[in-house]
Amino acid sequence: RKRAPNAVDIRARKGGEPLVSLTAYTTPMARLMDDHCDFVLVGDSVGMVLHGLESTLGVTMEMMILHGQAVARGLDKAMMVIDMPFASYEESPAQAFRNAARLMAETGAGAVKLEGGVEMAETIRFLVKRGIPVMAHIGLTPQSINTLGGYKVQGRDDQAQTVLADAHAVADAGAFSLVLEKVPQGLANQITAEVAIPTIGIGASAECDGQILVVDDMVGFFTAFKPKFVKRYAELGPLAEAAIAEYAAEVRARAFPADEHVFANQAPSQGTAK
Ligand code: KIV
Ligand code: NA
């Protein structure tokens, strides 16, 4: 069994075989992807995907720690990265260090991810210098939905220079990789070519050094909406609903439980016990 990669291993994958990653929030889902992913992200998307929140802004440290601990129990071979939730790092580098250290100590994550470019470079440098590997996240940053005004593509036309500057800033600050969310393909290719750390695309480009998707999106469990960049590899949501509907019908018809699901009054006789 290979050991789980760490941030230095992931960093060294620049320009090589594409890095594979997905989000996970629970032990069973983490187990399913452990053999297939290089790293697994405990994303703050958990708030929208599993808790029914309208955005990621209401996600707390406590939620991230609880889900991080669950995911850790399902992983042996893949690295675990955990999102810093909104308001846990923006105030100061010291605040970011305190909360990043707590996330790693209480969950066993090998790195944290935080949103922001030029404005977070000082914080990224502070964390990395003190032993905390940081994955950056630029382009569409969902924690800034209220200032961005919507989940739209970032870095089109005259905005491209801003996103490019963000990429260089987080790479120069010591981030070991960076997530590029919902940026034009050409810009994603340019950033991937220019920065020395792996780019992880989501709604970006196949030329990125890796890809990430929200697992519930790609297996069809989260169906409230489907961003263009999501590919549905399965439709488990409708499959699960059909199973629930069949169960409901069988209970109402007294067809469930059947004989094989109930216990006889008399214990089976010795030797023939099943
Ligand atoms: O929270 C999340 O799921 C993420 C990924 C989509 C990059 O940040
Ligand atoms: Na996130």
Residue 3 has pLDDT above 90, yes or no: no
**90 in a labelled binding site:** no
23, 181, 216, 221, best to mutate for ligand 1 pocket (most atoms within 8 Å of CB): 23
**Per-residue pLDDT tens for 205-263?**
999 999 999 999 999 998 888 899 999 999 999 999 999 999 999 999 999 999 999 99
**115 in a labelled binding site:** yes
**45 in a labelled binding site:** yes
Q: Is 181 a catalytic residue?
A: yes
Residue nearest to atom 8 of ligand 1 (CA): 43
Ligand 1 contacts CB of residue 43 (under 6 A): yes
Residue among 35, 3, 6 at smallest CA distance from 109: 6
**Average of per-residue pLDDT across 28-39:** 98
Helix (H) or strand (E) holding 81: strand 79-83
Residue 67 has pLDDT above 90, yes or no: yes
β-partners of residue 180 are: 138, 201
Q: How far is the CA of 172 from the centre of ligand 1 (A)?
A: 22
pTM of the model: 0.95
pLDDT bucket at 1, cuts 50 / 70 / 90: very low
For the chain, the farthest-separated pair of C-alpha atoms sits apart, in whole angstroms, at 81
Phi and psi at residue 144, in whole multiples of 5°?
A: -105, 25
**Per-residue pLDDT tens for 136-150?**
999 999 999 999 999
Q: How many CA atoms lie within 13 A of 20 on its CB side?
A: 10
Phi and psi at residue 244, in whole multiples of 5°?
A: -65, -40
Helix (H) or strand (E) holding 71: helix 61-72
Say if CB 107 and CB 42 are below 8 A apart: yes
Tokens of 50: 């599993």
Say if CB 204 and CB 185 are below 8 A apart: yes
Q: How far is the CA of 47 from the centre of ligand 2 (A)?
A: 10
The domain over range 7-234 is classified in CATH as 3.20.20.60? yes
Percentage with pLDDT > 70 across the chain: 98
